Amino acid sequence: MSKNELSPLNPSAAGAWLGVMGGGQLGRMFAHAAQKMGFKVAVLEPAHDCPAGHAADHLHRADYTDTDALAKLATQCAAVTTEFENVSAKSLAFLAERTFVAPSSDCVSIAQDRMAEKRFFIDCAATSGVFPAPHKEIKSDADIDMVPDDLLPGILKTVRMGYDGKGQVRVKTRDELRNAYAAMNGVACVLEKMLPLAYEVSVLAARGADGKSVVYPIAENVHRDGILFTTTVPGPNITPESAQKAQAATLAVIDQLGYVGVLCIEYFVLKDGSLVVNEMAPRPHNSGHYTIDACITSQFSQQVRAMARLPLGDVRQHSPAAMLNILGDIWFEGDSNEAREPTWDKVLALPGANLHLYGKDTARRARKMGHITFVAPTLEEAQANLRKACTILGIPA
């Protein structure tokens, strides 16, 4: 019997450990969900003071490529996952030789490389019906000469390691493209054509080792400076036809990957109503945090179920939700460098407010420190309370 065909795990069994690569907030919320279901959680992370390490039952403090630590994690855990896509795919492959790993290193490696990801989306388009934006890989100055005029203006992105707006530059002209590429220090990049964007949505799905998949409601996202600002669910602007198409495309992608676990795909909805696939995250996603408070099964409980080869949970949303990302900026007033605690008591006095802080030791500007999800009988009420929270916390709405 292969590791992908192992029996479901018994949460109450002695030694029912699940492992996670990465010590950030996603690992922390995964640990909470796993422990709620009776599992113990081990985290592998180089930092000694990390959000997931505070919540886990055991912390392996080591580099993600440390084979001794990886072997110990594999021996300890019946299954291992990752909380972020930039963990070494080689490390996941090493673990997979010794224990069950979900998602697989092959799936994660695609998401680590923007060009590989775009090629995969194009391959999927025959069944998904959704293509990525027009683009061109830039690996040398000579490639810039070959860029078609109609790809400008565009966004130059590093092929690897970009997230939360990092490694991205908007360029209008070929000269700006040259300067931006030079500033990237010669790393491989991809130029994406800027499209007439109406809004952005994300689709969260999960797939079990048995091949069964589930998909959550459409989330509409607003970003500021490349970082998620708010998520509203159900998406207030998307048509039923476009919503169904985005969900079906996501299920087509997750099936073609042979994926096991939670996957999020971001889409652009253009002004003419058409869909363009942007990128995928092989893990729970910031835009899916609302599921903790507004759905029968949270994205983290779903991740636990998939890892443990247990039946996937009900994805029904029981309450409209609006989620506000909390960055370290709100700990500082104006240009002051002196931190002070936000007025959480006033925020929590708002109806339907659910505060989630990530246990990070130091607040820094642009650092994700937590989120607040507002649930309400109507989407309008949830959105109104989110705006009130922004006023309380000094966040421009």
Q: Is pLDDT of 86 > 80?
A: yes
Q: Look up tokens 């000469």; give the residue.
A: 145
- 127 confidence band (pLDDT: 50, 70, 90): very high
Question: What pLDDT score does 171 carry?
Answer: 96
Residues 143-165: tens digit of each pLDDT: 999 999 999 999 999 998 766 55
- Domains of the chain: residue spans and CATH: 3-101 (3.40.50.20), 134-193 (3.30.1490.20), 197-393 (3.30.470.20)
Q: Look up tokens 């922390």; give the residue.
A: 28
Residues 213-245: tens digit of each pLDDT: 999 999 999 999 889 999 999 999 999 999 999
- 167 confidence band (pLDDT: 50, 70, 90): confident
Q: Is pLDDT of 337 > 90?
A: no
Residues 341-352: tens digit of each pLDDT: 999 999 999 999
> Which of 131, 111, 113 is closest to 190 using CA atoms?
113
Question: What pLDDT score does 3 carry?
Answer: 52
Question: What pLDDT score does 10 carry?
Answer: 84
User: Could you tell me which residues come within 8 angstroms of residue 337 by beta carbon, excluding any fewer than 6 positions away?
Assistant: none
Residue 39 structure tokens: 């599992």
**What is the β-pairing status of strands 168-171 and 135-138?**
unpaired
Q: What is the mean pLDDT of residues 189-211?
A: 97
Q: What is the mean pLDDT of residues 279-306?
A: 97
Alpha-carbon gap, residue 286 to 301, rounded angstroms: 15
Q: Is 302 strand, coil or helix?
A: helix
**Residue 190 buriedness (CB in 10 A; 0-12 / 13-18 / 19+):** buried
Q: Is pLDDT of 290 > 90?
A: yes
Give percent above pLDDT 90 in the chain.
89
Question: What pLDDT score does 335 carry?
Answer: 82
Residues 33-45: tens digit of each pLDDT: 999 999 999 999 9
Question: What pLDDT score does 2 carry?
Answer: 44
Alpha-carbon gap, residue 367 to 51, rounded angstroms: 13
Q: Is 104 strand, coil or helix?
A: coil
**Comparing 19 with 186, which gets the higher pLDDT?**
19
Q: Is 198 strand, coil or helix?
A: strand
- 1 confidence band (pLDDT: 50, 70, 90): very low
The helix-helix angle for 89-96 and 105-112 (nearest 10°) equals 180
Alpha-carbon gap, residue 332 to 199, rounded angstroms: 30
Alpha-carbon gap, residue 393 to 324, rounded angstroms: 11
Question: What pLDDT score does 364 carry?
Answer: 93
Q: What is the mean pLDDT of residues 114-129?
A: 95
Q: How far is CA 43 from CA 53, 56, 224, in A?
A: 6, 6, 31
Alpha-carbon gap, residue 175 to 167, rounded angstroms: 18
Q: What is the mean pLDDT of residues 156-179?
A: 85
Q: Is pLDDT of 338 > 90?
A: no
**Mean pLDDT across the chain:** 94
- 6 confidence band (pLDDT: 50, 70, 90): confident
Q: What is the pTM of this model?
A: 0.94
Q: What is the mean pLDDT of residues 328-337?
A: 90
Measured at the CA of 299, the angle between CA 298 and CA 302, to 5 degrees, comes to 90
Neighbour tally for 211: CB within 10 Å: 10
Q: Is pLDDT of 14 > 70?
A: no
